[in-house]
Amino acid sequence: MGDQVPLGARPAAGDRVLSGKRVVLGVCGGIAAYKAVEVCRRLGDAGAIVSPVLTRSATRFVGPLTFSALAAEPARTSLFGSEEVGAGSGAPAPAVPAARSAIPHVELGRNADAVVVVPATARLIGSYAAGISSDLLSSVLLATRAPVLLCPAMHTEMWEHPAVQDNLTLLRRRGVHVLDPAEGRLAGGDYGKGRLREPEEVVAALEAVLVDESSGTAGTVSSRADAGGTLRGVRAVVSAGGTREPLDPVRYIGNRSSGKQGYAIATELQARGAQVVLVTSSPLEPPAGVEVVGVETAAEMAEAVLGAAAGADVVVMAAAVADYRPSAPAPVKLKKSGAPVRLELVPTLDILAELGAHKRPGQVVVGFAAETATGDQLVELGRGKLESKGADLVVANDVSADGASFGSDRSAAVIVSRGSLTDLGVSDKRAVASKLVDAITDLLGAAGVPAPKKGANA
């Protein structure tokens, strides 16, 4: 099965998800094909061995030679070997020269670790769903057993057409991953749902597909987009990053939170169709389609989160909010005098406790507990926070674990609820986000949160 993945920060060097992976990059004919060039470059930068396959229509928008220059394999446009264009130089040559085979669709499909189609047009989606192999790309898709990620792009009317949605539903049911398009500017000056996701989002989604496949959690990526978005119509608020409490106009008290986990959760929720407000103090690039509210202090975080939570179905407090702040920040920079400085700290508002105390029926509130504990102790700390704050779910993570400290791309986490416990071990933050949103979705269903009619805009 497939899934749609949080578009978090890139994995650390030496731990790259795409390093050494053979990726077939399919490109269809559409104005968004120009973004596939940047996708190709980013895949190569991440260490992937890229084999570009362009449809005939794609060559009307982008040149095959461009992809050949960036990829490990010459770009291919036909089932026939004479159609390969240029010599790849963007990555080390693969051990198996799949693109030079007499039966390229079989070899490309057989040797691929993943296939990603950017953009995927309505024609390609229809052919794939119907099992029609009319060109090299559609033949590769039918010949491969590797995970497939489709990134559709088309005008809103085409995207919303029942035939296109039915084809996508069928493909998802077969295990194909789909990264739903964003809402934005389209060709011809139009505006609406159907804009291809940005290259960094495509690469992050592909990484998430491979993470799910390798960790045995396949099914989370594609299931998010099933039926046009399992959380379509759900309103969510996510907080991210660490707050800064000023000592003076120059200095502050803060923490090491990067905001990566909160961004991954916001991306996951949005990918499944939810309307997301991200309240953040982090400088990370926000995911497309998410409303962002920038804050700095705990007081600003409280005002923004509590205000947005009033109309939300889901609130996820992933931010690391300061427990204390200086009682009287200096109005001017404090000068070093050599004498001891006494600092009085006063408690900040407990945002999670406020959310739990004023939670509406059916609303899901999620807390985070950054701890330096392991095993049963970590679980007990998570359960304690669950009860004391009135939350529905708590993600307890050990920030002292190797490879899972603040700022890393992994977390050593357990998800605690009143009736269950999910131990994720040391997992990619996107996998944590996927499992958490699965649990949120289950709680929303149990609470009877109404799903909007099919076709309703997110």
Bridge partner list, 366: 316, 393
Q: Helix, strand, coil proportions of the chain in percent (round to 5)?
A: 35, 20, 40
Bridge partner list, 76: 53
Side chain identity, residue 292: V
User: Tokens at residue 358, please?
Assistant: 């004023």
Query: Strands 191-195, 182-185: parallel, antiparallel or unpaired by DSSP?
Result: antiparallel
Report the distance separating Cα 250 and Cα 134, nearest Å. Answer: 64
Give exposure, 413-436, as e/b (b: 16+ Cβ within 10 Å).
Answer: bbbbbeeeebebebbbbbbbbbbb
**CB-based burial of residue 56 (10 Å sphere; 0-12 exposed, 13-18 middle, 19+ buried)?**
middle
**255 is an active site residue:** yes
Spatial CA neighbour of 444 closest among 334, 363, 348, 342: 363
Residue 6 and residue 268 in contact, taking contact as beta carbons nearer than 8 Å? yes
Catalytic residue among 111, 167, 255, 397: 255
Active site residues: 255
